[in-house]
Amino acid sequence: MAIKVEETPNPNARKFTTDSLIFKGDGSVSVMPGQTSDHDVMNELMALEGVDNVFGFQNFITVNKLPDADWEALTPKVEGLLTEKGY
């Protein structure tokens, strides 16, 4: 399984795309601070230090970090969590 990490026009957001389907259907999933999701992966991502909010659709999740968080520290944690979940 491979996870592709892409930068976005927003320096505080990165897109993590997997080879497998994470979310079924045509609806997107987003979690903002103070919210929870029916999808454990989204809640676990929100629990990572430095994550501000998350958005997912089918085989990708976009993670938005807090401005003072560091992608060098956060990216491996996101990739590890997605791998642990089997994506």
All domains of the chain in start order, with CATH: 3-82 (3.30.1370.70)
* Mean pLDDT across 48-77: 98
Q: Which residues pair with 67 in a beta bridge?
A: none
Tokens of 56: 């997912």
Contact 84, 1 (CB under 8 A): no
pLDDT in tens, 10-36: 999 999 999 999 999 999 999 999 999
pLDDT, average across residues 32-51: 97
Closest CA to 61 of 36, 82, 77, 76: 82
Q: What is the pTM of this model?
A: 0.95
Q: Is the pLDDT of residue 1 over 90?
A: no
Measured CA to CA, the distance from residue 77 to residue 85 in angstroms comes to: 12
Handedness of CA 54, 8, 19, 84 (dihedral sign): negative
Mean pLDDT of 33-54: 97
